Amino acid sequence: MNKPIMRALRADGRLQEMVQRAVQDGLDPMLGTETTVLSEMSLPWGQPPAALALVPLAEATASGFRGVVWIGGELDDLASVAAALLGERPSGDDEALQDCVRELTNVLAGRIQEQLRSVGPATGLGLPMFLSGARTLAIGGASTDGIALRIQIGLPELPEILIGFVTGDA
């Protein structure tokens, strides 16, 4: 069930629109700034970002839609983003930084979930998790389909982060 939905959304450009809208509706107001999409990129699981947070998204039925929304990047860039929320810059990948990135990913996933509902699947959100230092990742099974975007946040340091939405095998 996953792939036909993702392929249909990708084929007519709605997938990128969906993720960009989720950024505008979710991340921009939270960070109090605007974001710019720099490029679409291939899914980075062979060479994951230094740190990333993931939120699973799934239909209640066993055969239903499963996906993952994620935000990742270099620790320095993620710290710049977290500083906008915390009022002070976290150091390294400490708990405050992890908390911020998990929460931003949660908000992004909520906005994607809402749009996904309008094209079919009624999904629930799982708990966000944070990973750092992974050399490779297998998200949702060996085969994934989805989108990854490099975006720039309009904060003074102009941090660049990666965001994405992928589905695994159903």
Q: Does 64 bind other proteins (CB under 8 A)?
A: no
Q: Enumerate residues 6+ apart whose C-beta is below 8 A from 4.
A: none
Q: Does 151 bind other proteins (CB under 8 A)?
A: no
Q: Enumerate residues 6+ apart whose C-beta is below 8 A from 89.
A: 79, 80, 82, 83
Q: Does 50 bind other proteins (CB under 8 A)?
A: no
CB of 89 closer than 8 Å to CB of 83:
yes
Name residue 54's beta-bridge partners.
70, 129
Is the CB of 48 or the CB of 121 nearer to other proteins? 121
Is the CB of 122 or the CB of 138 nearer to other proteins? 122
Residues 84-123 that bind other proteins (CB under 8 A): 85-86, 95-96, 99-100, 102-103, 106-107, 109-111, 113-114, 117, 122
* Cα distance between residue 55 and residue 24, in whole Å: 18
Q: Does 35 bind other proteins (CB under 8 A)?
A: no
Residue in 1, 37, 43, 125 binding other proteins, rule: CB under 8 A: 125
How near is the Cβ of 135 to other proteins at its closest, in Å?
A: 27
CA distances from 24 to 20, 31, 46, 100 (A): 6, 10, 28, 17
How near is the Cβ of 8 to other proteins at its closest, in Å?
A: 20
Phi, psi of 144 (to 5 degrees): -135, 155
Is the CB of 37 or the CB of 96 nearer to other proteins? 96
Residues 7-26 that bind other proteins (CB under 8 A): 26
CB of 20 closer than 8 Å to CB of 28:
no
Chain residues in the site for other proteins (CB under 8 A)? 26, 29-30, 85-86, 95-96, 99-100, 102-103, 106-107, 109-111, 113-114, 117, 122, 124-127
